[in-house]
Structure 1
Amino acid sequence: MSTHDLNPLYTRRLSELLSDENGTLALALLQKLGTPDTAGPPAPADPAEPSRPADPSGPSGPDTVGVWRRSGQEYVRDPALRDQWRYWADLDRLPLTPGRGRTVVLGESAARGYFYDPAFSFASVLGDLLAQGTGPADVDVLDLARTNANFGDLERVLAQAAGLRPDALVVYAGNNWNNIDLTPHQGQRLAEALRSGGYPAAGRLFQEFVVERSGRFLDLLAATAAGCGAAVTLVVPEFNLADWADERSLVCPVLPGDAGPRWLRLRARTADALRAGRDREALDLARELTGLDGGTSPVSARLLARAAAACGDQALREQALVTAKDAAVGLFTVHSPRILAVVQDEMRRKAREHGFRLVDLPRLFRDAAGGALPGRRFHLDYCHLSFEGVS
């Protein structure tokens, strides 16, 4: 047997060996052994010292921040990274004025002001508010939000931003946090959950993995901020619950036994009852439908939301729309970015734990709309904000 023929066999065997808990620990140890020990984590800030003791453009500053590379006493866009410029703020140079305060904005496309960028962004609104006297006026706002940013992107730019000695870090992210890299052990656990409990069990487990990964990033944010003496403001994203329609490909995953045909018949009966104005019957049928798929279908959850609204139950309508939004996450199907309800809760919990200032968009939007669910007034699509939403 040739080496080429043996490669799949060896790869499968290695995957099996590394798929359990001991394998995960072995991978972590190998990664640690292969990582050079550099200067280590930044030392905690001395409260007796100013928050920004060194000029970031001096010898201790980072060589690269996002797509900007240090050139003398300033950071300019690196031509070698031109293919990435479109993901970042349209700035030739980062504003780093000696003697002024420094606030760094980190985030994803919603923080970039997607659809309005570069004319208007979350960071530009923040800068205008500071200039109008709602905060310190002598502050540079550094827009380091990146479209399509994942956890790795955020952690990388967070480390770079710490080298700029910011006074404040503002993090508006979370819509992309369900894109996680699974370990072999997690993949094995998901396969076992799917085998024993179907898609409902696998989806719940996957969301647990997302929450754990989110918590680790927020812990890193707290440690990094403490190391550079920066205050943290955490912005909890919100989804367009009222007006966004899910992708047509998102219907219902495979159900065991005869549950699939039963689900299809129930869906038709529920829709017929809604069209005929038999609202209470539709509500009962929709409850049965969502019970059949275990909360894995945005279609059944949205039918439940419609029936609840028709019956005047706004609390149930909101609960059903949140279920519809979260249903696709963990089913390994293509869907638009979204913030999970459990991740929103984790962000609130970590803010309390670490003393972050919290900007809770779900609650702010409801307060501004008199309790109404967030919709097109504050959103342009699923998660990107309108002018009023950003403002």
Structure 2
Amino acid sequence: MKEITKAHINRADRLANMMQHQESKELVHLLRQLGLEPGDTAPKKNSKQHNHIGIWKLADQDKQQGVESAAYERDPAMADVWPMWAQNPRIEAVTQKKRIVYLGESAARGFLYDPMYTPAQVLQSILQSRFGEEEVEVVDLARTNADLTTISELAEAAVALNPDALVIFAGNNWGVGANQDAPLLATLADGLREQGVSGFRRQIETCLEADIKALVDKVDDLYGKNDIPVSWVIPEFCLQDWRDPPSNAPWLVTGRNQQWQELYAQATAAIHEAKFDRAQELANQMLVLDEENCSVTHYLLAEVYEQQGETQKRRVHLQAACDAACWDFMRSNSPRMLSVSSNTLKAEVSLNKQHVIDLPEVFSQYLNADSNACENKLPGRELFLDYCHLSSEGIKVAMAAIASHHIKLWAGETFELQPLMGKSTDISLQTESEGHFLAAIHNAHWGQSAELVEYFCEQALEKDQAIAEVMQLFMEVQTRSDLPLWMHKASEQLMEQVSPNLQRYLFNMEFKCFDKVLFDAMTSALEKRGIKAGQRLLETRLSNLQVNEQATDLLNPFFHSTAISNAQTGKGNEGGTPAYFQAYDLQNHFSFVARNDRDLLLTATLRLGVQLASELPVKLLCNGAIIAEIQAGKRWKTQTITMAAELLNEGVNQLTLSWKSELPQSEDRLKLAANALELRQVPKLFPVFGNLFQLSVRQADVASKE
């Protein structure tokens, strides 16, 4: 008989209450969680085709023949996902060479360089330099977007390739999301309901630990019994340069969100005033309130420790900021290897007598080989193109570490990294340039700093100035908000000038925004080299985006999104997303293009995001100047405001809405978020300061003005 837990009792109490109040939708979910819902309980059939290894299918003519002659060829039925894999049309089932089967995700694929330059190519070239070109091969089965389930399935299928060693370079995509089965969602919801975000996070980490242990055990069962050595490569994160876009604290179980907001404002001011001891004191108070679950608190402390020269403490908080993303189902967070994943993997692998290649340790030794022991450099842009995808230097270091292990395994010889890196495949200047160009786009679209984005633009031009025209063509086609990239006439020129790598990225890019940070960085880098890109961009923007008599909808994500993580469609859906813009920050910024010879009319329909008895003022600013103050309450209010021509820039302008923070207690909101999670909706874990139903701008009518 199943054990009756406190969670079961709580659900039963809620079930009785809902039966009384006829809340049928949530009632069905509780019945399912308690195992009381009738329905088909027959196990689902496994539809996996055992004659596949990823996109490679056992050739038809080989199915009836012996293993010695078998080969796997790319399956035309899976052609739509071929670009996510190695561009290898055929894999022999058996070879006389020593064979490493190499599994992984986009970092292992060489994202932003692939297919022109990949880690598997580099690993193979290093090994062949030692053993001979005809003596060893690396079968590249890494797949972009591979998750833990994909790795598990590939590991099982790859046994058919009879490898001499298995390498698994993965972990960035391991996590627990909202798309889970009902019992697991119920467990997560119980943690959220009873202990807030901390309880929610603990349940997520517990689930993740179990999944990783199961994967390691499965791999050991598949390969250990045949004495095939397995190496797990633990990814590193770009701690030095990457910063997740700032967010406020989630609803706190203590009900002290307002206090946290006030401390945040004071700590930020103290940082700006270089009062680092005071900032540390305030940030530590924030840490107590948010229970170490908010990345912005860790970033504040990391900045303090940087100023104080405390590199190790800085690293601890940068890693903690990285880990804090694991519970946030509301935003799209960049992939990363969480500490819980890394620690679980290392512990479990040691029990199974497999091997770990710890890239955080490898990179630390590499970066600090010639440094003062106190300096302790952190991994940054020299080894990474973004959050987790490696630069060509990072690829060489990582693959040299893997090669060193296998040379020792097979030949008993020990090599340092630098000599092996010198044996690796070189990257062309064009591929390096294009990789840095894509890195600039990718970093900008994930909300990174203007300085970092401009660095990648400058590096792209330094490697190959031919990328300059590509940059300008990209700005031209990306400036049109109403058409996808492939529909622009200028796209034909782009297609003719770029490699398959650029074509694949640019013409599959779904996120589109005003791109002020990116285009400012590109024009700055171009103009430093004497290319007058600024005027060309201004003319393109005025031609395509200038505000006219027809209203420009600033709630279109094109005008307000600055990163993938903060894009809001505002269209509403069955998953609980409302049909209006939600202000999760105290200030929201909207970009638009205008000339400065005519007044504009701004129409806003807004309300507060929390239900308060009194109204609060909302300030509206145009290019930093206050143009209106609206008293907002719990009901929608519409107001039209004139933006005088003298306040406008010729070109890009910024409208800012500044909300006032006055947050109520949070307990009910945490319960509502838990209920939403059980209904397979995204839980609303953050306070909303305001809502916008309409925000549009148009030219003022000249006749009426006169």
- TM-score for the superposition, normalised by structure 2: 0.47
Between the two structures, name the one with larger relative contact order (CA 8 Å, sep ≥ 6): 1
Could you say if the C-alpha distance between residues 354 and 257 of structure 1 is closer, same or farther in structure 2, counting changes exceeding 3 Å? closer
Q: Which moved more, 1:89-98 or 1:128-137?
A: 128-137
SS of structure 2 residue aligned to 1:328? helix
1:19 to 33, 56, 69: 33
Per the alignment, residue 285 of structure 1 pairs with 282
Could you say if the C-alpha distance between residues 362 and 145 of structure 1 is closer, same or farther in structure 2, counting changes exceeding 3 Å? same
Per the alignment, residue 297 of structure 1 pairs with 294
Displacement of 1:123 in angstroms is 1.2
Larger radius of gyration, structure 1 or 2?
A: 2
Per the alignment, residue 192 of structure 1 pairs with 190
Output the amino acid matched with 1:200: S
Displacement of 1:189 in angstroms is 2.1
Q: How does 1:245-256 map to 2 (within 5 A)?
A: 245-248=243-246, 250-256=247-253
Output the amino acid matched with 1:378: L
CA deviations 1:219-262 (Å, max 9, x no partner) are 111111124442101101111111002134x4321224651121
User: RMSD of the TM alignment (CA)?
Assistant: 2.8
Per the alignment, residue 374 of structure 1 pairs with 379
Output the amino acid matched with 1:285: L
2-structure distance, mates of 1:251, 1:124: 43
1-structure distance, mates of 2:186, 2:77: 40
Displacement of 1:12 in angstroms is 5.5
Per the alignment, residue 318 of structure 1 pairs with 315
2-structure distance, mates of 1:166, 1:14: 49
Output the amino acid matched with 1:65: I
CA deviations 1:296-336 (Å, max 9, x no partner) are 21111100111122223222211111111111211212211
SS of structure 1 residue aligned to 2:312? helix
SS of structure 2 residue aligned to 1:235? strand
SS of structure 2 residue aligned to 1:105? strand
Q: How does 1:164-183 map to 2 (within 5 A)?
A: 164-179=161-176, 182-183=180-181
CA deviations 1:20-44 (Å, max 9, x no partner) are 5x78xx99x956x5558x9xxxxxx
Per the alignment, residue 146 of structure 1 pairs with 143
| 1:208 and 2:206 aligned | yes
Per the alignment, residue 44 of structure 1 pairs with none
Per the alignment, residue 346 of structure 1 pairs with 344
2-structure distance, mates of 1:174, 1:228: 25
Per the alignment, residue 52 of structure 2 pairs with 64
2-structure distance, mates of 1:98, 1:280: 63
Per the alignment, residue 642 of structure 2 pairs with none
SS of structure 2 residue aligned to 1:307? helix
Q: Which moved more, 1:359-368 or 1:209-218?
A: 209-218
SS of structure 2 residue aligned to 1:207? helix
Residue pair 1:111, 1:173 contacting (<8 A) in 2 also:
yes
Displacement of 1:97 in angstroms is 5.8
1:128 to 121, 125, 150: 125
- TM-score for the superposition, normalised by structure 1: 0.84
Structure with higher strand content? 2
1:222 to 204, 207, 220: 220
Displacement of 1:14 in angstroms is 5.6
CA deviations 1:182-201 (Å, max 9, x no partner) are 34222222212212211122
2-structure distance, mates of 1:171, 1:66: 15
| 1:274 and 2:262 aligned | no
1-structure distance, mates of 2:386, 2:25: 42
SS of structure 2 residue aligned to 1:306? helix
2-structure distance, mates of 1:298, 1:309: 16
- Percent of residue pairs identical: 32
Per the alignment, residue 687 of structure 2 pairs with none
Output the amino acid matched with 2:382: R
Residue pair 1:88, 1:144 contacting (<8 A) in 2 also:
yes
SS of structure 2 residue aligned to 1:358? strand
| 1:81 and 2:78 aligned | yes
Displacement of 1:203 in angstroms is 1.4
2-structure distance, mates of 1:150, 1:10: 35
SS of structure 2 residue aligned to 1:76? strand
Per the alignment, residue 259 of structure 1 pairs with 256
Displacement of 1:372 in angstroms is 1.6
Displacement of 1:342 in angstroms is 1.3
Residue pair 1:130, 1:137 contacting (<8 A) in 2 also:
no
Output the amino acid matched with 1:120: Y
1-structure distance, mates of 2:131, 2:366: 20
Per the alignment, residue 49 of structure 1 pairs with none
SS of structure 1 residue aligned to 2:292? coil
SS of structure 2 residue aligned to 1:223? helix
Could you say if the C-alpha distance between residues 98 and 186 of structure 1 is closer, same or farther in structure 2, counting changes exceeding 3 Å? closer
Give the number of aligned pairs.
356
2:391 to 372, 386, 390: 386
